[in-house]
A and B are shown apart, each in its own frame.
Chain A
Amino acid sequence: MTTSRFDSYRPPEDGPRRRRRTSVRDAVTGAARDVVQGGRSWLDRDGGGRREAPAVPDAEFVDYYGQPVIKPVPWKHEIPAYLFLGGVAAGSGLIAAGAAATGRPGLRRSSRLTAMTAVALSGATLVADLGRPERFLNMLRTVKLTSPMSVGTWILSGYAAFAGAATAAEVSRMVPLPATGPLAVARTALGVVEAPATVGQALFAPPLAAYTAVLLSDTVTPVWFESRRQLPFVFVASAAMASAGVQLALGPGRTGPVQRLAVLGAATDLVATHRLEQHLEGLELREPLETGPAGRKLRLAKALTVAGGLGALGARRSRALAVASGVALAAASALTRFGIVEAGLESARDPRYTVGPQRRRLEERRARGAVHDSITTVG
């Protein structure tokens, strides 16, 4: 086709014009053609020497030059670090309350200090993510129930307030204070607020551990959104095993409840992660959890969870084993958070994971006869 008579001076074209860029669609139609022609098939298609041949045929879908349909959340390592620290803070708060209720002063002191340190560090990572401290204050301008981040900010602030009071009471007992004067009055006051603060910290701890799962799920990132029914369980189990692991590693004489919580957390984490993987498998979204850096982290996390959980069983016998299993559990929790966040970001970058599940969801609805809720209509 030409519109200019000068084009008659061009040399004749031989064959159809080559496309400048090979898209996924070309690869798919090419593979389909190969199968039809009975020659090469997707089984013996090689990847050009650099990649191994794919084990399954490419999914049939059209895309726009391989561009992502949705945008990945612009979060870096601060957010998974925040998720981990929040989990440690929440679990430690519960351990502190339990220790206070059952009269274990050593465990109460170390878990209160751990909780305070973790919550302070998690606030710091949040500010690091936002860039400037006053941006955190921007979030305290409003309460917005439709925003998990707004709800989470208030949960974190409430938890930090109660944890601060409980830790201050703990510290006032640790340092020698004069018997009279303002400091003595302060100590008395702290003694009065200690019990309510402990209860408050314990009540704010479960939401602090669980809301982060909602924070991730309430996005269109395919892996996070589709794991909305499993992720909270993974995260609370991860928080329990991480905080119990930290207490196991911190000092002797903390076996018993901490050991039980560590084993309980590790076991729940394995079960919940397995259920999550099964669910995503059915949606063909498991691949981001298994490949790349995210896959490596999650595999290592699983191995460390198993090792740490088994180690925690025998933590009473050996101090070294207690420290090793405690560190393993905490590391497993951190790796889980980083792995889940990275897998989600990866699933957002590849249009396959956005279009594929949506397309299938849509076709299933249409097969059932439900056509009223589609965004595409003919009139």
Chain B
Amino acid sequence: MGYLARQLAGRTDPAPDAGWEEAPERKGFFTDTSICIGCKACEVACKEWNALPLDGLGLSGNSYDNTGGLGASTWRHVAFVEQSKDRILEARASGRRLVDLGMPQVGAPSPAPSPSATPSLPPAPEGHGPDLRDLLAAANGAGTEETAYPGGGEVTAAEVSAMGAPLPDFRWLMASDVCKHCTHAGCLDVCPTGALFRSEHGTVVVQADVCNGCGYCVGACPFGVIERRTDSAVSVRADGHVPDVGVAQKCTLCYDRLTDGQTPACAQTCPTTSIRFGTREEMVALARARVAQLHEQGFTEARLYGANDDDGVGGTGSVFLLLDEPEVYGLPPDPVVPTARLAEMFRTAGIAGLGLLGAAAVAFLGRRP
């Protein structure tokens, strides 16, 4: 594939494409939502390190999520989803369906283990994730009777056992969202001033002093991450000054820390290692190992988001392990970077333009007045 063709879609290594010579390995996050405890330490650490202004105080009424979403002054956002047993079962079934579809994965799809297989479960990877064997053993000890699931209607204990992992009455999904640092970043592609650039680490960074505030990047992000900062933000500074108003802002993957070989603030502060930072290759490998482990333990609702280089954005720098469909977390189920269709758009516009030229010529044909 040629240099130009690689710029808009498909798998590629973005930093060398952007002209970096001897670029370091591409960096990224792996956010494992299965072990997120919703402490929001990442949100706070990000605000602290990057000196982001406050963006309002208030209670949204949406579970424990009072931040709402990613924005100009929120570069990490913890989503809280409250789910009933029905929905958990649906998530588990949809995850199973993905396996049956033959989604890209390492190794063969693992069958759901029988309850007796509990002792053979593998331990959690070193320093990552809780050991679910105790949980599973407890559930299997009590889970053979209907009474283990009070209030359970259509879901019987037998079905639950077939799923291979305990099915709680209720759960919270907690997921720390962040800029995806796409391989083909819509925001970066459409920026008319060059304010957005690809760093040597393969990440996407905004230069606030070059940005002209046109807001085009906001509309080009398929994940709704980047935003133009408004002065409605409440500042924590005494003079009420809000920096960089009218300028697009988003996660830089702590570019300033990366250049000194440091870990981004959110990953450094995460108390459960739910947010991991490293080379993207490592992160994808870690994510794959973790999802395989969860599937073996019967948690078929686990799936990866962003680890596939053939997707609409060429794979994301931030990889997520989700426990339900992406839209449950407010993530798009099939994002496509709009510039992937740019050639087609310009071609259509060209034909339309020629049509206009032709129409004008036709209008002026004929006899003189």
The secondary structure that dominates the A interface is: helix
Contact A235 to B352, CB < 8 A, known contacts A62-B327, A69-B224: yes
Contact in complex: B81, A375 (CB < 8 Å): no
Contact in complex: B332, A355 (CB < 8 Å): yes
Contact in complex: B194, A73 (CB < 8 Å): no
Contact in complex: A376, B338 (CB < 8 Å): no
Contact in complex: A63, B327 (CB < 8 Å): yes
Complex Cα gap A268–B352 (Å): 11
Min CB gap B276→A, angstroms:
17
Q: B291 within 8 Å of A by Cβ?
A: yes
Binary contact readout B198-232 vs A (1 if CB under 8 angstroms, 0 otherwise): 00000000000010111110111111111110000
Contact in complex: A149, B98 (CB < 8 Å): no
Contact in complex: B330, A63 (CB < 8 Å): yes
Which of the segments A45-53, A172-180, A226-234 contacts the partner chain? A226-234
Complex Cα gap A72–B201 (Å): 29
Contact of B363 among A98, A129, A135 (CB under 8 A): A98
Contact A70 to B223, CB < 8 A, known contacts A138-B212, A220-B186, A235-B352: yes
Complex Cα gap A240–B213 (Å): 31
Contact in complex: B334, A141 (CB < 8 Å): no
Contact in complex: B215, A73 (CB < 8 Å): yes
Chain B: CB-nearest residue to A344: B219
Residues of B within 8 A of A65 (CB): 60, 62, 65, 330
Q: B311 within 8 Å of A by Cβ?
A: yes
Contact of B352 among A72, A236, A371, A378 (CB under 8 A): A236
Chain A: CB-nearest residue to B168: A1
Complex Cα gap A290–B266 (Å): 44
Min CB gap A229→B, angstroms:
6
Chain A: CB-nearest residue to B68: A67
Min CB gap B178→A, angstroms:
15
Residues of B within 8 A of A61 (CB): 327
Which of the segments A99-107, A278-286, A303-311, A323-331 contacts the partner chain? A99-107
Complex Cα gap A23–B327 (Å): 14
Complex Cα gap A156–B224 (Å): 29
Residues of B within 8 A of A135 (CB): 212-214
Complex Cα gap A202–B218 (Å): 33
| Chain B residues touching A, range | 35 or more
Chain A: CB-nearest residue to B329: A64
Residues of A within 8 A of B142 (CB): none
Chain B: CB-nearest residue to A262: B363
Residues of chain A in range 53-110 having any CB-CB distance to chain B below 8 Å: 61-65, 67-75, 90-91, 94-95, 97-99, 101-104
Contact in complex: B79, A64 (CB < 8 Å): yes
* Residues on A facing B (Cβ under 8 Å): 1, 16, 20-21, 61-65, 67-75, 90-91, 94-95, 97-99, 101-104, 129-131, 135-136, 138-139, 141-142, 144, 146-150, 153, 202, 205-207, 209-211, 213-214, 217-221, 225, 228-229, 232-233, 235-236, 239-240, 244, 253, 255-258, 260-261, 264-265, 268, 348, 351, 354-355, 358-359, 361-362, 366, 371-379
Additional A-B contacts beyond A142-B192, A147-B216 (12; CB < 8 A)? A69-B331, A71-B226, A74-B228, A99-B364, A138-B193, A149-B216, A210-B356, A218-B220, A220-B336, A359-B334, A379-B104, A379-B292
21 CB contacts below 8 A, A to B, read A21-B61, A64-B81, A72-B219, A91-B356, A142-B194, A210-B350, A214-B349, A218-B220, A219-B338, A232-B352, A244-B363, A260-B362, A264-B363, A268-B355, A351-B327, A354-B332, A373-B310, A376-B103, A377-B104, A379-B104, A379-B107
